[in-house]
């Protein structure tokens, strides 16, 4: 028996070293607020998904289908996959957590890229493992640095592609080169939260790699292009043995009926996804070009957001305060080690115009 020295329950060593994830702010001054801090969809969710969610309200007394069969089937049909190889989760965050809890423990290491998604170090540390950070070059994943960070203790490599908050991506040939360099017992987690937005020919989300290997999984989300962040819905495609593990450790009803219903309708409404894509394809380059003209260095992005790098006498903190005065909420990047950057989601037309006007006034 161990005795707690402080006389109250204590978490495992390392838990209290975790910096809690700080979500994007959701309030600011001004009558009209433009929340551009969490990469949410400026065009909302599919009306069909909203209808399906409403309809699910008539059976709230019933537990959901614990295996989310309708949703896995809809996803499988859309992507030509086997539904047996899909696991749904309460956001892809839950799936990342489940992977970490199943495959990491005391004495293990997990690798991620310098400006990688901050959920990775949280789930790594929460499970007693050590987070190893591979340096980036020009705010872009450096596959050689990731490979160099792998040791005999490495159990997982997390890769967001495209990455948040940088918006940069690596071509599929680079993902394959990374995978080829990993020992077969290291799990490669491809977080493809922004895959739908990417329009370059050299990008792939990783489905082919998952299909061909025993040590690769891909996670996807309904929070971004589908505009269903409030429902907490994500999915994973993986080899059968990993799917089996996740089905053992997940909560038996981890995805709610409303989320399943809305997810099915959203997956089947690809015309709506096209609209969201067209909106982003029109506004992302416009915003990037207009902001770059003002003397702010904009990291090239293929997502639905931009990383803005400010300069010494016009700092990101000052810009953030200035934008907030105009009702525009951006995301500070201090927690990512980028104190002089802000991340800004592509908004609707009014928000995008307001951002450019505000930044012009700020920079002049």
Q: Name the residue number minimizing CB distance to ligand PLP.
A: 91
CB 259 → ligand PLP: shortest distance, Å? Answer: 11
Contact 344, 305 (CB under 8 A): yes
CB 160 → ligand PLP: shortest distance, Å? Answer: 4
Give the number of C-alpha atoms closer than 13 A to the C-alpha of residue 362, restricted to the C-beta side. Answer: 27
From residue 116, give the alpha-carbon distance in Å to each of 54, 193, 333, 343: 36, 13, 12, 14
Q: Is 136 in the site for ligand PLP (CB under 6 A)?
A: no
Name which of residues 28 to 57 contact ligand PLP (CB under 6 A): 39
Q: In whole angstroms, what is the distance from residue 312 CA to residue 207 CA?
A: 42
For residue 220, give the 3-state DSSP assignment: strand
CB 234 → ligand PLP: shortest distance, Å? Answer: 4
Q: In whole angstroms, what is the distance from residue 337 CA to residue 360 CA?
A: 26
Among 37, 41, 46, 92, contact with ligand PLP (rule: CB under 6 A): 92
Q: Is 93 in the site for ligand PLP (CB under 6 A)?
A: yes
Of the two residues 102 and 294, which places its CB atom closer to ligand PLP in the complex? 102
Q: CB-based burial of residue 33 (10 Å sphere; 0-12 exposed, 13-18 middle, 19+ buried)?
A: middle
Q: CB-based burial of residue 144 (10 Å sphere; 0-12 exposed, 13-18 middle, 19+ buried)?
A: middle
What tokens does 79 get? 């992507």
Q: At what angle do helices 257-268 and 270-292 cross, to 10 degrees?
A: 80
Of the two residues 219 and 326, which places its CB atom closer to ligand PLP in the complex? 219
Residues 4-33 as x/- pattern, contact with ligand PLP by CB under 6 A: ------------------------------
Of the two residues 64 and 91, which places its CB atom closer to ligand PLP in the complex? 91
CB 3 → ligand PLP: shortest distance, Å? Answer: 38
Kindly write down the DSSP assignment for every residue of 59-84, as one continuous string.
GTTSPP-TT-HHHHHHHHHHHT--GG
Of the two residues 243 and 358, which places its CB atom closer to ligand PLP in the complex? 243
Q: Is 196 in the site for ligand PLP (CB under 6 A)?
A: no
Among 124, 160, 260, 316, contact with ligand PLP (rule: CB under 6 A): 160
Of the two residues 125 and 164, which places its CB atom closer to ligand PLP in the complex? 164
Kindly write down the DSSP assignment for every residue of 97-119, as one continuous string.
HHHHHHH--TT-EEEEETT--TH
Name which of residues 221 to 280 contact ligand PLP (CB under 6 A): 221, 223-224, 229, 234
Residues near ligand PLP (CB under 6 A) are 39, 91-93, 117, 160, 164, 191, 193, 221, 223-224, 229, 234
């Amino acid at each position: 028996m161990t005795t707690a020295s402080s006389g109250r329950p204590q978490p495992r060593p390392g838990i209290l070293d975790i910096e809690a994830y700080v979500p994007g702010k959701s309030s600011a001054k001004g009558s009209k607020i433009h929340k551009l801090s969490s990469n949410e969809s400026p065009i909302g969710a599919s009306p069909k998904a909203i209808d399906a969610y409403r309809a699910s309200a008539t059976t709230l007394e019933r537990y959901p289908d614990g295996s989310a069969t309708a949703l896995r089937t809809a996803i499988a049909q859309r992507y030509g996959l086997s539904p047996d190889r899909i696991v749904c989760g309460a956001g892809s965050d839950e799936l990342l957590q489940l992977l970490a809890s199943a495959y990491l423990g005391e004495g293990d290491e997990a690798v991620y890229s310098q400006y990688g998604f901050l959920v990775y170090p949280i789930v790594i540390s929460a499970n007693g493992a050590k987070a190893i950070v591979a340096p980036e070059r020009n705010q872009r994943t450096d596959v050689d640095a990731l490979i160099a960070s792998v040791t005999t203790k490495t159990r997982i490599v997390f890769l967001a592609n495209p990455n948040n908050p940088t918006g940069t991506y690596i071509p599929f040939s680079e993902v394959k080169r990374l995978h080829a360099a990993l020992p077969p017992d290291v799990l490669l987690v491809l977080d493809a939260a922004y895959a739908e937005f990417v329009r370059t020919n050299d990008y792939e989300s990783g489905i082919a790699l998952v299909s061909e290997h025993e040590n690769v999984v891909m996670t996807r989300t309904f929070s971004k292009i589908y505009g269903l962040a409030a429902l907490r819905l994500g999915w994973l495609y993986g080899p059968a043995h990993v799917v089996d593990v996740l089905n053992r450790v997940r909560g038996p009803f981890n995805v709610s009926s409303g989320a399943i219903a809305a997810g099915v309708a959203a997956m089947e409404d690809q015309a709506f996804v096209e609209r969201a894509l067209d909106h982003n394809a029109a506004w992302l380059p416009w915003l990037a070009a207009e902001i770059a003209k003002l003397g702010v260095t904009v990291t090239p992005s293929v997502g639905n957001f931009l990383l803005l790098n400010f300069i010494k006498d016009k700092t990101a903190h000052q810009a953030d305060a200035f934008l907030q005065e105009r009702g525009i909420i951006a995301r500070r990047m201090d927690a990512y080690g980028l104190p002089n950057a802000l991340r800004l989601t592509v908004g609707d037309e009014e928000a995008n115009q307001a951002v450019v006007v505000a930044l012009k006034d700020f920079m002049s």
